[in-house]
Amino acid sequence: MSKYSLIKWKYLAKENMMYGANESAEHDDMSYPRYIRITDLDNEGNLKEDTFKSLPPQIAAPYLLSEGDILLARSGATVGKAYIHKGDLNACFAGYLIKFSSRKDLVNPKFVFYYTQTKYYASWIAENTIQATIQNVSAEKYANLQMPLPSLDIQDEIVKYLDMKVDDLNITVSSKERLLYLLEEKRQSIITEAVTKGLNPNVKMKDSGVEWIGEIPEHWEVKKVKHFSKLVGSGKTPSGGSEVYLDEGIPFLRSLNVHFEGIRLKNLAFISEEIDNEMRSTRIQPLDNLLNITGASIGRSCIVPKDFGRGNVNQHVCIIRVNQNKINPYYFNSIMNSKMAMDQIMTAQTGSSREGLNFQQVKNLMFPVAPLEEQEELNRFIFTKQKEIYNVINRIESQIQKLKEYRQSLIYEAVTGKLDVRELIAEK
């Protein structure tokens, strides 16, 4: 670090940091400049391919990006997220992003971007976030961020080394994420086959009477959720919203806690006994099925374990409480984990102004249903198959997490001078 100087970003910028356009994302004309918003960026600062929006050239003109410009998220849960622009893309940026244009005679823009991937930067963001109604870091705050900076030639060497190493790591991570996608497809396929055809390949089949379901075992029936449910409803957000959440108390489940493999306790919120009593009509019970009915995780579902204890949900999570004399709750959970369920959910919410399901749509979800005694056998089969797949998924997710941690550590070591990249490059 002796060869490094601490320099504020405002002294490395060729112009004042700038907020983006406050325009709604209404256009998708590919001939217009792409309109980059926070939601267009993934966690690694890459542009998503499937969220394209654009602005008319005359509106985009003051906000056009140049090669090496860095965009910084200034508010929300992703505050601090960074993106570096490549000059071959004609693009502008939105108001919740801040543009940093560097003096290239002083700093390599990619060096600045790599610094935003370090734990130093993450700590600075956490310390400088303004906690109001929403997390926020202003352009003025970013301008005063101090960064350790070596000479330009050393910066270039570090960037060259990291480009090579990070690209290799990213390729490995991408291949493992692709494998996760294929495993999830396989899991859904196994479940769908079991809950639509059963386990006996020689069973006599009949036309279900529903075109998209096709043939089902002769002794099965097609039923809607409303035919075997005792409750279809959701919770609500307590008065005061997240301000009343506690570090301990009664678990308060949100859509981020509901996953196909079960309830995830990471980022679990809690509410007081008093608020729980006010919301007693939306308490969960053992073996309730929970279904996300809004947002990007719509359709994700799981079952409440028998030993979960007390808990409540917010308005984005639907509680489906089945009549156990008519259907096994674990079997129903398997049905809700199938592609057949997801396809219906996606069709039901298509065309609405925002992703969301209402209770009537949930009640009208339609499935082939086996007799109760056969459901138990299907449960055992699906549980065994899912356990095998989830064991592999968990192992791969752990590998991905370790690769990402190594990538962050490598970047940190390189940009802070703890790793002499010139010696490593010379060895190659």
> Burial letters for 66-99: b for 16+ Cβ neighbours within 10 Å, e otherwise?
eebbbbbbbbeeebbbbbbbeeeeebbbbebbbb
* Structure confidence by residue, pLDDT tens digits, 242-298: 778 888 999 999 999 999 989 999 889 999 999 988 888 889 999 999 999 988 889
64-92 average pLDDT score = 91
Q: Residue 424: what pLDDT?
A: 62
Band (1; pLDDT cuts 50, 70, 90): very low
* Structure confidence by residue, pLDDT tens digits, 7-53: 999 999 999 999 999 999 889 999 999 999 998 998 788 898 888 99
Q: Lowest-confidence range among 144-158, 240-254, 325-339?
A: 240-254
138-151 average pLDDT score = 92
Q: Is the pLDDT of residue 131 over 60?
A: no
Q: Is the pLDDT of residue 423 over 80?
A: no
399-411 average pLDDT score = 95
Q: Is the pLDDT of residue 108 over 70?
A: yes
* Structure confidence by residue, pLDDT tens digits, 183-232: 999 999 999 999 999 999 999 999 998 888 889 999 999 999 999 999 99
* Structure confidence by residue, pLDDT tens digits, 348-368: 876 444 568 899 999 999 999
Band (418; pLDDT cuts 50, 70, 90): confident
Question: What global pTM score does this model have?
Answer: 0.78
The residues, ordered by sequence, that sit 6+ positions from 340 with a Cβ below 8 Å of its Cβ are 192, 195, 196, 213, 367
Q: Residue 130: what pLDDT?
A: 65
148-169 average pLDDT score = 94
**Nearest 5°: CA angle at 240, between 234 and 307?**
45
Q: Is the pLDDT of residue 134 over 70?
A: no
311-331 average pLDDT score = 94
CB 304 within 8 A of CB 260: no
CB 284 within 8 A of CB 305: no
392-420 average pLDDT score = 93
141-162 average pLDDT score = 93
Share of the chain above pLDDT 90, in %: 71
Q: Residue 428: what pLDDT?
A: 52
**What is the DSSP pairing of strand 289-292 with strand 317-322?**
antiparallel
Q: Which two tokens stand for residue 305?
A: 């374990």
Q: What is the mean pLDDT of the chain?
A: 90
Q: Is the pLDDT of residue 421 over 90?
A: no
Q: Residue 230: what pLDDT?
A: 94
